[in-house]
A and B are shown apart, each in its own frame.
Chain A
Amino acid sequence: MTVNKGEFAVCCENITKTYPPDIQALKNINLKISPHQIFGIIGPDGAGKTTLFRILTTLILADEGKATVLGYDVVNEYQEIRKYVGYMPGRFSLYQDLTVEENLKFFASVFGTTVEENYDLIKNIYRQIEPFKNRRAGQLSGGMKQKLALSCALIHKPKLLILDEPTTGVDPVSRREFWEMLQNLKNEGITILVSTAYMDEAGLCDTIALILNGEFLKIDTPKNIVQQFEPEIFSVQSNQRSKLLTDLRRLPEVSSCYAFGDSIHVTVENKKISEEELQNFLLKNGHEQIEIAKIEPTVEDCFMELSKQQEENN
């Protein structure tokens, strides 16, 4: 039996979804995901990530467009998709009053398998929470809950793993561990579709799709997205942080600037202004301890620039 009928793990054509009264969650989405990779959908809350995942997991129907998952149509062949997809919704969706072990066993039997049968796949993840296997799931820490949820989503050895914001509300150490686990799963041959609002996680994906207001801004590898970013970016710091932002925004040569950690990222198109000119301008405006450095753009910089373009287009 060939499970992977299609060439792509996920294929969307002109997917549109509107919630009443007229909130357009997804506008004409086109997406093709090749198997055996980590594909990240990156965007802020309300961008349409969850809606897209729910359509792909056959939980809701799109208003328009066609979508296939693992070669199966999401409308007519939803039962097939449900056999081969592992899904982890955004909210913690395990039974809080059941123990770790009971949760795992339950989900194993729901998928018609046993914990023993696929233990190899979850071994590395489950081992970390096994000491607490008799603890109620509700009493686990955020990171451990996440590991348990991932174990449960993996227990039937899915071909495609769909994770909706798995690292939201999880501490940085657990987040890093989590991404390492995903990397291992990819090496096991599982295609992973993951969404996140954290831009810094984008670099951990093989391919990313930047999404905003129900539209994809760009789909490419993180590397290409950063390389294709043409404007120069300066990281600027001074002793008057709030004034710095307003002053820089006054400059017509600066196409955009926004706070990024302790510093301010200034985007300059077509080299309209150099580092020295920028320094002189700030000195004139009474800033001291000015530090300006030309930096490599991050995915977040690209996202900001692309979202500005989207705004201008509309």
Chain B
Amino acid sequence: MEFFNNLRDALQERQISMKQFMSFVRKEFYHIFRDKTTMAILLILPILMLVLFGYSISTEVKNSKIAILDSSNDVATRAIIEKFRNSEYFSVKKMVNNPSEIQDLFKKDRLNMVLVFGDNFYENLAHTGNAQVQLIVDGSDPNSAKTIVTYATSIIGAYQLELSKIDKIPFQINPQIKLLYNPQMKGAYNFVPGVMGMILMLICAMMTSISIAREKELGTMEVLLVSPMKPIYIILSKTIPYFVLSLVNLATILLLSVFLLKVPIAGSLFWLIAFSLVYIFVNLSLGLLISSIVDSQLVALLISGMVLMLPVIMLSGMMFPVENMPVFFQWISQIIPAKWYIIGVKKIMIKGLGLSSIIPEMSVLLGMGIVLVIASLKNFKYRLE
């Protein structure tokens, strides 16, 4: 009998806790919905970032302005020039007659590249199997310069291939540049996973830590702590709304990338979402950890802004390839959850690989999540100091 009484009491207590918890979650949603500016930012930010990165900041270079100096003006050069004219990556602005004009052209017309064919181009090619074409590229933006060179050499290479097929003569073999999965070097393929990593971190880690810091700053935490509600519920209920919000953002990003940026989801949508949930879990616990350390919204913002965002942008491989970094930064990048997430998303979403291929990333993220959750729970203060 006593057992049943105890059981009933326990169940009743649980019922009350659940009610407390739900009213807390509801209150959190009120905060979010009533702060119209913040909510607008949170919902529009992913769209804005995708469009920004997808279009304007993409490494894809279209309509590069070029000029051509053709001293030979023969069958071969005309054919190559025709290919450049037809390419969407280049727009031929000028035909140059004198090499001395080239310097001025770069300054005046803001050219990206000048294509220079030497004398007797076709003759050389036909007789010696070797011909010279010079690519003079504006190197002030190394990234786009590299891209332009790649486009140009592949156009020239394509012509050589055609020529070889007809004449069966081994012409000079150009280094073949093969771009796996993204033959056009489409920028969106790189940026969609990056934006996902960034947005989810922003919502989960930053917003959670700020909203807890706000309670401390406004003094409401004092009242909440002096209540029978278990402090851990206070904190956990903070994460629910941002969890929901990040799911909304995840959906927005995926829809936009498929329908607007034409980046298909090559692999399993289920595993992509499951993998994202693990990443969200890591970031929510990171947010909790931050909030257990800081007392003001500003510090929470600074920590999540500087300590989290900057490394994610710089070191996660989103902007710059991790392989090109100094060893020290490569080491740092290992502890950035976003790095693992971006790698994993690329594998599933872009390369279409299965679950078995992301086991390392999945386990690293899970491990990080568990460590962070334990750390933030241990760090949690049920008093003010």
Q: Are B383 and A60 in contact (CB under 8 A)?
A: yes
Cα A93 to Cα B219 in complex, Å, equals 5
Query: Known pairs A95-B218, A110-B227, A153-B223. 16 more at Cβ < 8 A?
Result: A54-B222, A54-B384, A57-B222, A58-B225, A82-B227, A83-B228, A88-B223, A89-B219, A89-B223, A90-B219, A93-B220, A95-B30, A98-B34, A106-B24, A107-B223, A110-B20
| 21 A–B contacts from the bound complex (CB under 8 Å) | A57-B222, A57-B226, A59-B383, A61-B385, A78-B382, A87-B222, A93-B220, A95-B30, A95-B31, A95-B220, A97-B30, A97-B35, A98-B27, A98-B31, A98-B34, A109-B23, A109-B24, A110-B227, A111-B228, A112-B19, A153-B223
Q: Which of B20, B31, B226 is the one whose CB lies under 8 Å from A59?
A: B226
Chain B nearest CB from A93 CB (Å) reads: 4
Set of chain A residues within 8 Å of B44, measured between Cβ atoms: none
Q: Are A110 and B385 in contact (CB under 8 A)?
A: no
Complex interface residues of chain A between 91 and 109 (CB less than 8 A to chain B) = 91-98, 102, 105-107, 109
Complex interface residues of chain B between 14 and 47 (CB less than 8 A to chain A) = 16, 19-20, 23-24, 27, 30-31, 34-35
Q: Which of B31, B222, B223, B384 is the one whose CB lies under 8 Å from A97?
A: B31
Q: Which of A87, A89, A98 is the one whose CB lies under 8 Å from B30?
A: A98
Set of chain B residues within 8 Å of A111, measured between Cβ atoms: 227-229
Complex interface residues of chain A between 13 and 70 (CB less than 8 A to chain B) = 54, 57-61
Cα A89 to Cα B221 in complex, Å, equals 10
Cα A233 to Cα B16 in complex, Å, equals 59
Q: Which of A58, A87, A89, A102 is the one whose CB lies under 8 Å from B27?
A: A102
Q: Is B224 an interface residue (CB 8 A)?
A: yes
Cα A88 to Cα B317 in complex, Å, equals 50
Complex interface residues of chain B between 270 and 292 (CB less than 8 A to chain A) = none
Q: Are B226 and A95 in contact (CB under 8 A)?
A: no
Q: Is A309 an interface residue (CB 8 A)?
A: no
User: Which of B19, B20, B222, B383 has its CB near the most chain A CB atoms (within 10 A)?
Assistant: B222
Set of chain A residues within 8 Å of B218, measured between Cβ atoms: 91, 93, 95-96
Chain B nearest CB from A19 CB (Å) reads: 10
Q: State which size class the interface on A falls in.
A: 20 to 34
Cα A302 to Cα B26 in complex, Å, equals 51
Q: Nearest chain-B residue to A59 (Cβ)?
A: B384
Q: What mask results when residues 215 to 258 of chain B are scored 1 for a CB within 8 Å of chain A, else 0?
A: 00011101111111100000000000000000000000000000
Q: Which of A60, A83, A110, A153 is the one whose CB lies under 8 Å from B23?
A: A110
Q: Are B228 and A82 in contact (CB under 8 A)?
A: yes
Q: Are A82 and B27 in contact (CB under 8 A)?
A: no
Q: Are A106 and B227 in contact (CB under 8 A)?
A: no
Q: Which of A54, A94, A97, A107 is the one whose CB lies under 8 Å from B34?
A: A97
Q: Is A257 an interface residue (CB 8 A)?
A: no
Cα A98 to Cα B35 in complex, Å, equals 11
Chain A nearest CB from B292 CB (Å) reads: 16
Q: Which of A83, A89, A110 is the one whose CB lies under 8 Å from B222?
A: A89
Set of chain B residues within 8 Å of A59, measured between Cβ atoms: 222, 225-226, 383-384
Q: Is A85 an interface residue (CB 8 A)?
A: yes
Cα A58 to Cα B224 in complex, Å, equals 12
Cα A258 to Cα B24 in complex, Å, equals 52
Interface size on B, residues (CB 8 A): 25
Set of chain A residues within 8 Å of B382, measured between Cβ atoms: 78
Q: Are B226 and A94 in contact (CB under 8 A)?
A: no
Query: With A61-B383, A110-B23 given, is the CB distance from A82 to B222 under 8 Å?
Result: no
Chain A nearest CB from B185 CB (Å) reads: 47
Q: Which of A78, A107, A112 is the one whose CB lies under 8 Å from B16?
A: A112
Q: Are B226 and A87 in contact (CB under 8 A)?
A: yes
Cα A192 to Cα B325 in complex, Å, equals 64
Q: Nearest chain-A residue to B22 (Cβ)?
A: A109
Q: Is A79 an interface residue (CB 8 A)?
A: yes
Cα A105 to Cα B26 in complex, Å, equals 11
Q: Are B27 and A95 in contact (CB under 8 A)?
A: yes
Complex interface residues of chain B between 180 and 239 (CB less than 8 A to chain A) = 218-220, 222-229
Set of chain B residues within 8 Å of A102, measured between Cβ atoms: 27, 30
Set of chain A residues within 8 Å of B228, measured between Cβ atoms: 79, 82-83, 110-112
Set of chain A residues within 8 Å of B384, measured between Cβ atoms: 54, 59-60
Cα A94 to Cα B24 in complex, Å, equals 14
Q: Are A82 and B226 in contact (CB under 8 A)?
A: yes
Q: Are B223 and A93 in contact (CB under 8 A)?
A: yes
Q: Nearest chain-B residue to A92 (Cβ)?
A: B219
Complex interface residues of chain A between 125 and 167 (CB less than 8 A to chain B) = 152-153
Chain B nearest CB from A10 CB (Å) reads: 14
Set of chain B residues within 8 Å of A96, measured between Cβ atoms: 218
Q: What mask results when residues 58 to 101 of chain B are scored 1 for a CB within 8 Å of chain A, else 0?
A: 00000000000000000000000000000000000000000000
Cα A109 to Cα B20 in complex, Å, equals 5
Set of chain A residues within 8 Å of B220, measured between Cβ atoms: 93-95
Q: Which of B227, B229, B385 is the one whose CB lies under 8 Å from A60?
A: B385
Set of chain B residues within 8 Å of A57, measured between Cβ atoms: 222, 226
Q: Nearest chain-A residue to B15 (Cβ)?
A: A112
Set of chain A residues within 8 Å of B24, measured between Cβ atoms: 106, 109-110
Q: Nearest chain-A residue to B30 (Cβ)?
A: A98
Chain A nearest CB from B162 CB (Å) reads: 68
Cα A91 to Cα B30 in complex, Å, equals 22
Q: Are A93 and B20 in contact (CB under 8 A)?
A: no
Complex interface residues of chain A between 223 and 279 (CB less than 8 A to chain B) = none
Q: Nearest chain-B residue to A81 (Cβ)?
A: B226
Set of chain B residues within 8 Å of A85, measured between Cβ atoms: 226
Complex interface residues of chain B between 365 and 385 (CB less than 8 A to chain A) = 382-385
